[in-house]
Amino acid sequence: MDIDIEKLYELYFMKVYSYVMTLSKNQSTAEEITQNTFFKAMQSQHTHKGQSSELTWLCAIAKNMYIDEYRKRKKYSPLDEINDVSEGRGIEENFENADSSYMIHCILHSLEEPYKEVFHLRVFGELSFKTIGKIFGKTENWARVTYHRARLKIRERIDEQ
C-alpha cells in the first residue's frame, strides 16, 4: 500500500501531537516523538495493511515510540527533574495539594487499561470522544462509556481512602 506521507502529515500532525502530548506531558518530547512517528511511518508504510484507519496506525506508532522513550528516560532520569515546592503559598497548602494530587495520581496509575488511557486522553489530552474511539478502533459511544466508568472507578477509590 503506497501512502502519501506529506498528506498524512498535513491531516494528522496535530492529532498525533496532541495524543503524544497527553502521554508525555512535555512539549519538546511530544514534538520529537511526533516527528519521529511520521519518519517511521514513511519507512514502514508497507506494513500498514489498511485494516485500521491511518490515524489509528500513526497513534500506535507514536505510542510505541513514547514507550521506548519512557523506558530510556526512566533508566537515566537526572535528579534535577524533581520539582521544587512552589513559593507564595503556605506550607500546609502545598502539602495538602501535593497529598491529594499524589493520591489521585496513584489511583489513576493503578487503573486498569483501557480506563487509564481513555481518562488521560480525555482529561489531559482534551481529545473528543470521537477521536479517542478512533485511536482505539472503537466507537465514540465506547469511548464515552469507558471514560465515565473510569471516573466512577476513581471516585470509588477516593471514597475508600
pLDDT tens figures, 41-85: 888 876 766 677 888 888 888 988 888 888 777 665 543 343 333
How far is residue 131 CA from its own chain's centroid?
A: 13
Q: What is the pLDDT of residues 19-43, one digit of tens each?
A: 888 888 888 888 889 888 888 888 8
Give the domain range for residue 31.
5-74
25 and 66 fall within a common domain: yes
Q: What is the pLDDT of residues 127-159, one digit of tens each?
A: 888 989 999 999 989 998 998 888 888 888 877
Instruction: Give the integer Cα–Cα distance in Å for 143 and 155.
Output: 18
Sole residue written with cell 471516585: 155
Q: What CATH number does residue 43 fall under?
A: 1.10.1740.10
Number of domains in the chain: 2
Q: Is 41 a domain residue? A: yes
61 and 106 fall within a common domain: no
Q: Is 81 a domain residue? A: no
67 and 9 fall within a common domain: yes
Q: Is 87 a domain residue? A: no
* Whole-structure pTM value: 0.48
Q: Is 93 a domain residue? A: no
**115 pLDDT more than 50:** yes
DSSP state of 81: G
59 and 106 fall within a common domain: no
Q: Is 18 a domain residue? A: yes
Range with lowest mean pLDDT among 36-50, 62-76, 90-104, 111-125: 90-104
18 and 61 fall within a common domain: yes
Q: Is 91 a domain residue? A: no
17 and 70 fall within a common domain: yes
pLDDT confidence tier of residue 87, bands split at 50, 70 and 90: very low
Q: Is 82 a domain residue? A: no
DSSP state of 112: P
Instruction: Give the integer Cα–Cα distance in Å for 84 and 22.
Output: 23
Mean predicted confidence (pLDDT) in 75-101? 47
Q: Is 40 a domain residue? A: yes
Which cell goes with 156? 470509588
Q: What CATH number does residue 154 fall under?
A: 1.10.10.10
